[in-house]
Amino acid sequence: MSRNTEVFVIGGGPAGLSAAHVAAKLGAKTLLVDDSARVGGQLIKQTHRFFGSSNRDAGIRGVTIAEKLQQDIEEVSDRLTVLENTAAVGFYHNKEAGILSQKAYERVTYQAAIVCTGATENSLAFDNNDLPGIYGAGGVQTLMNVHGIRPGQKILMVGSGNIGLIVSYQLIQAGVEVVGVVEGMPTIGGYLVHASKIRRLGVPIYTSHTILKALGSDGVTGAMLSRVDEKFQPVPNTELEIKCDCICLAVGLTPLIDLFQQAQCRMVHVGELGGLVPLHDSAMRTTNPDIFVAGDASGIEEATTAILAGRIAGARAYETIHGKSPQAEAIVAEAREELRTLRSGSTGERIRWGRERVLKEVGEC
Amino acid sequence: MTSLRIDKHPVLNFPERKIVNFNFEGKQYQGFAGEPVAAALHAAGIRTLRHSPQKNRARGFFCAIGRCSSCIMEVDGQINTMTCITPLAEGMQIRMQKGHGTIKA
Ligand SMILES: Cc1cc2nc3c(=O)[nH]c(=O)nc-3n(C[C@H](O)[C@H](O)[C@H](O)COP(=O)(O)OP(=O)(O)OC[C@H]3O[C@@H](n4cnc5c(N)ncnc54)[C@H](O)[C@@H]3O)c2cc1C
Ligand code: FES
């Protein structure tokens, strides 16, 4: 079987939902596929109140933002088809792609595609890092906040960025004992508000420490930590054994980019954005003129910026099919302004720098 | 059902779901219909899902969203099934996967 659409959106996280909403609202026939059982992306596991822009939902819980985005897309359901449990598996030439669900493999013919596949979790090298009981932070969140199951009774968190700190708090909410947070840097990576929250609850944060090995033979029973020096080398005789039944790795995300590579989009490595990202201009268009990108797939950032970039991509994708439109232009102008505000200030510095590098490569900066 | 299941949560509500029976390595267990197989096993206290092909090391799930393949098992005779995204159904036969597994004719 084959399907025909004008705009084809891959991934139903905040970026993809926003892109699909805008494209359909402006008048494009739109198809969105997501390979999970429920659209919402990372948001459906996030029970904490969000940081970010107050125009764009800061202070609201991730799960609530997901519900809001879902209501938005229902409003345009006459032009927008959403397929859950359906993965985009590759692009053909001539604006065609393949999608796979449990039931069937189908071809999709489109005029513009917006790829919003999000990110995958990083692992970390240490002895026994493959033992059962070692999970990614997203995995822990999925198990706990989507399926209602604790990862274990006592957990060690590796990484004190915002994700490590927030997931630690969520673990405590779910009744799991967090035995400590390990951080290689001399200072805590995430916002102080999140760190203070878990410190008040008695969780020790081990800065300038690393995990040397996981203990146990067929499952985690503990971890061996050690202090590290300025060059991140373990300091001898500072080993510390901690008892726990699971370990959570919150050591960053990498953009999920296989589809761009397969579509032969030019890629560029930008450390500030999490690794290899598809080169794109300020319209979020990649070097393959029919393919746009938005959200974490274009560089690891946050949900509010993913929503805004999704709106830009949705509006520009609409325009490539239906021609210039004042409404689309207004959406883009508003989103750009909000993005500028969001990325200003010292916390946005690294992102700004990374984004500028991408634009420089395409000659827009 | 077990102590790993969250029954009270300050923010989230988990809706009632249908209980189903499944079989893991010859023993009967219970889980909720539609939850991932790996989640049902985890809640039943089972963390080792397979053994690695070369060094025969125990492996459990890692990403829980169908990206890393750490959770592959034999489900109803089908090897290499990503159990973290396979919904549990009544009567499922689940086995640990040894190495690459064997394809049944
Ligand atoms: C613990 C944690 C806390 C966070 N806290 C905050 C916060 O407070 N404030 C904030 O602004 N941000 C926060 N974020 C970040 C935010 O959640 C992400 O930046 C945002 O979700 C990215 O949106 P996205 O749409 O790009 O990707 P995602 O939300 O990851 O969505 C991608 C979707 O694409 C689907 N997909 C992938 N590949 C395919 C394919 N081939 N075919 C079909 N579907 C596919 C995936 O299943 C997924 O549903 C947090 C993240 C985490 C993990
Ligand atoms: S745990 Fe990663 S694919 Fe299942």
Return the pLDDT at A350.
85
Each residue's pLDDT tens digit, A169-211: 999 999 999 999 999 999 999 999 999 999 999 999 999 999 9
Contact between B63 and A173 using a beta-carbon 8 Å cutoff: no
Domain boundary among A249, A270, A302: A249
A285 within some domain: yes
Number of domains observed in the structure of chain B: 1
A126 within some domain: no
pLDDT of residue A342 exceeding 90, the answer is: no
A127 within some domain: no
Percent of chain A scored above 90 by pLDDT?
A: 85
pLDDT of residue A365 exceeding 70, the answer is: no
For tokens 């053909």, the residue is A92
Contact B4, B43 (CB under 8 A): yes
- Cβ within 8 Å of residue B80, ≥6 positions away: B69, B72, B97, B101
The Cα A88–Cα A39 span in angstroms is: 14
Ranking A36-50, A88-102, A131-145, A255-269 by mean pLDDT, the lowest is A36-50
Each residue's pLDDT tens digit, A69-80: 999 999 999 999
Residues of B with CB under 8 A from a CB of A: 3-6, 9-12, 14, 35-36, 39, 42-43, 47-49, 52, 57-68, 70, 84-85, 87
Kindly state if the Cβ of A190 falls inside 6 Å of ligand 1.
no
- Residue bearing the CA closest to ligand 1, atom 27: A118
A282 with A341, same domain?
A: yes
Looking at all shown ligands, the one closest to residue B73's CA atom is 2
Instruction: Quickly count helices (H) and strands (E) in chain A.
Output: 9, 21
B5 within some domain: no
B3 within some domain: no
Q: Residues 193 to 232 of A: which have CB under 8 A from any B CB?
A: 217-219
Where residue A266 sits, what CATH number does that domain have?
Answer: 3.50.50.60
A176 with A66, same domain?
A: no
Write out the residue range of the structural domain in which residue B83 sits.
Answer: 19-95
Contact B104, B81 (CB under 8 A): no
Percent of chain A scored above 70 by pLDDT?
A: 97
More confident residue, A21 or A47: A21
A152 with A295, same domain?
A: no
B37 within some domain: yes
Domain boundary among A229, A249, A269: A249
Residues A331-359, mean pLDDT to the nearest whole number? 89
A213 with A145, same domain?
A: yes
| Predicted TM-score of the model (pTM) | 0.91
What letters, b where the CB count within 10 A reaches 16 and e where it falls short, cover A4-40?
A: ebbbbbbbbbbbbbbbbbbbbbbbbbbbbbbbbeebb
The amino acid present at A2, given as its one-letter code, is S
Torsion, Cα of B2, B3, B7, B9 (10° steps): -150
DSSP code string of A280-333? B-TT-BBSSTTEEE-GGGGSS--HHHHHHHHHHHHHHHHHHHH---HHHHHHHH
Number of domains observed in the structure of chain A: 2
Angle between helices A62-75 and A14-26 (to 10 degrees): 20
A81 within some domain: yes
A142 with A212, same domain?
A: yes
Residues B40-62, mean pLDDT to the nearest whole number? 96
* Dist. CA A142 → ligand 1 center (Å): 12
Identify which of A47, A132, A149 has the shortest CB distance to residue B11: A47
Contact between B48 and A219 using a beta-carbon 8 Å cutoff: yes
pLDDT of residue B1 exceeding 50, the answer is: no
A10 with A92, same domain?
A: yes
Phi, then psi, of A79 in degrees rounded to 5: -110, -10
A245 has a chain B CB within 8 A of its CB: no
Interface test mutation site (partner A, options B47, B57, B72, B75, max chain A beta carbons within 10 A):
B47
For tokens 């490590």, the residue is A164
B101 within some domain: no
Where residue B73 sits, what CATH number does that domain have?
Answer: 3.10.20.440
A278 within some domain: yes
Name the pLDDT band for A138 (thresholds 50, 70, 90): very high
A243 with A302, same domain?
A: no
Return the pLDDT at A51.
64
Contact between A219 and B58 using a beta-carbon 8 Å cutoff: yes
A125 within some domain: no
Contact between B63 and A138 using a beta-carbon 8 Å cutoff: yes
More confident residue, B103 or B69: B69
**Pick from B80, B93, B81: which is nearest to B20 by CA?**
B93
- Residue bearing the CA closest to ligand 1, atom 37: A117
Average pLDDT for chain B: 93
A102 with A157, same domain?
A: no
Tokens of A75: 């409003």
Contact between B4 and A152 using a beta-carbon 8 Å cutoff: yes
Name the pLDDT band for A57 (thresholds 50, 70, 90): low
> How many angstroms separate the CA of residue A100 from the nearest CA in chain B?
14
Residues A337-346, mean pLDDT to the nearest whole number? 87
A235 with A259, same domain?
A: no
Contact between A148 and B62 using a beta-carbon 8 Å cutoff: no
A140 with A205, same domain?
A: yes
Contact between B66 and A35 using a beta-carbon 8 Å cutoff: yes
A129 within some domain: no
Residues A73-100, mean pLDDT to the nearest whole number? 96
Segments of A87-171 assigned E as strands: 87-92, 96-100, 105-109, 112-115, 119-121, 134-136, 154-158
* Dist. CA A51 → ligand 1 center (Å): 15
Percent of chain B scored above 70 by pLDDT?
A: 97
B104 within some domain: no
> How many angstroms separate the CA of residue B102 from the nearest CA in chain A?
22
Each residue's pLDDT tens digit, A6-18: 999 999 999 999 9
Contact A302, A162 (CB under 8 A): no
* Dist. CA A345 → ligand 2 center (Å): 37
| Cross-strand pairs, B74 | B95
pLDDT of residue A297 exceeding 70, the answer is: yes
Write out the residue range of the structural domain in which residue A237 sits.
Answer: 134-249
B27 within some domain: yes
Q: Which residues of B touch A121 (CB under 8 A)?
A: 62-63, 67
B87 within some domain: yes
More confident residue, A39 or A103: A39
Each residue's pLDDT tens digit, A158-171: 999 999 999 999 99
Identify which of B6, B48, B59 has the shortest CB distance to residue A150: B6
Domain boundary among A249, A267, A291: A249
Residues A27-41, mean pLDDT to the nearest whole number? 95
Residues A334-358, mean pLDDT to the nearest whole number? 87
* Dist. CA B62 → ligand 2 center (Å): 6
Looking at all shown ligands, the one closest to residue B50's CA atom is 2
A145 with A244, same domain?
A: yes
Return the pLDDT at A53.
58
Contact between A131 and B60 using a beta-carbon 8 Å cutoff: yes
pLDDT of residue A262 exceeding 50, the answer is: yes
A54 within some domain: yes
For residue A86, how many other CB atoms are within 10 A of its CB? 22
What atom of ligand 1 comes closest to residue A42's alpha carbon? 29
Q: Which residue of A has its CA nearest to B32?
A: A147
B68 within some domain: yes
